[in-house]
């Protein structure tokens, strides 16, 4: 009887782990797809300005592209003011009221330009 109970509980535990792993993989896959979509927003600037990616001028162009598409964005060196900050402010207000809210903040850097 004890053996049967152990087999049943052990089997159920493995299913839960598998379901969690599958959900995690799905979320990660969706996040990667969203990142690739976001990078496409400023890919044209990247292709034109490959040799000068670390200049303030190019960073501004990339942030401006993201702003036009409606993203909240800021550079990783904190040299350019955040664009579409209203979205972040709305998120903070909702969080203070303990309401459900989400916000995406894009911070392009050299690594994210590889996509």
Residues spanned by the domain of 85: 2-110
Question: Is residue 85 pLDDT above 90, yes or no?
Answer: yes
Q: pLDDT exceeding 90 applies to what percent of the chain?
A: 24
| 14, part of any domain | yes
| Total number of domains in the chain | 1
| 102, part of any domain | yes
SS (H, E, C) the chain: CHHHHHHHHHHHHHHHHHHHHHHHHHHHHHHHHHHHHHHHHCHHHHHHCHHHCCCHHHHHHHHHHHHHCCCEECCCCCCCCCECHHHHHHHHHHHHCCCCCCCCEECCCCCHHHC
Give pTM, 2 decimals: 0.64
Around 86, how many Cα atoms within 13 Å sit in the side-chain half-sphere? 3
pLDDT digits (tens, 9 = 90+) for 101-115: 888 888 887 555 544
| 98, part of any domain | yes
Please state which of the ranges 7-16, 17-26, 82-91 shows the lowest mean pLDDT: 7-16
| 115, part of any domain | no
Residue 54: band (very low, low, confident or very high) from pLDDT cuts 50, 70, 90: confident
């Amino acid at each position: 009887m004890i053996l049967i109970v152990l087999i049943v509980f052990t089997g159920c535990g493995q299913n839960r782990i598998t379901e969690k792993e599958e959900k995690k993989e799905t979320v990660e896959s969706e996040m990667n797809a969203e990142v690739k979509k976001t990078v496409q927003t400023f890919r044209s600037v990247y292709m034109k300005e490959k040799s000068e990616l670390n200049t303030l001028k190019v960073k501004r162009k990339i942030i401006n592209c993201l702003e036009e598409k409606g993203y909240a964005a800021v550079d990783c060196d904190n040299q350019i003011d955040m664009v579409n900050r209203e979205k972040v402010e709305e998120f903070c207000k909702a969080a203070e009221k303990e309401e459900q809210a989400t916000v995406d903040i894009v911070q392009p850097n050299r690594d994210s330009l590889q996509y």
